[in-house]
Amino acid sequence: MPLIARLYRVHGRVQGVGFRAFVERHASKIGLAGWVRNADDGSVEVHAQGRTEQLNVLEGLLRTGPRWGEVRHVEVRESSPIAADGFTIER
């Protein structure tokens, strides 16, 4: 199956609540490659690539977030795959 990539932007109370670590942990368990980072506007950006089923699982987790977070909205766009080895937190 070919790899596909998606770019997510998660809005709400998603910075300072362990959101990036939550995403990195779950994306790695699912077997996705990519990155997660805080955006200047207070949202969190996620670039993930894998199979459709894996990305759908991640999207469900993004919509829930970690215990102390509060997700209000998730934007999803198709993206181009990148050269990535595993899933990382970007600063």
- Has 56 been annotated as catalytic? no
- Has 77 been annotated as catalytic? no
91 is a domain residue = no
> Which residue is catalytic, options 9, 13, 37, 38?
38
Which parts of the chain register pLDDT below 70? 1
Give the percent of the chain with pLDDT over 70.
99
90 is a domain residue = no
Which range of residues forms the domain containing residue 64?
A: 4-83
pTM of the entire predicted model: 0.94
pLDDT at residue 1, as a whole number: 67
pLDDT at residue 62, as a whole number: 98
> Which residue is catalytic, options 20, 25, 37, 51?
20
34 is a domain residue = yes
Domain count, the chain: 1
CATH of the domain at 23: 3.30.70.100
Closest CA to 23 of 77, 59, 50, 73: 59
Decide: 90 and 36 in contact? Cβ < 8 Å: yes
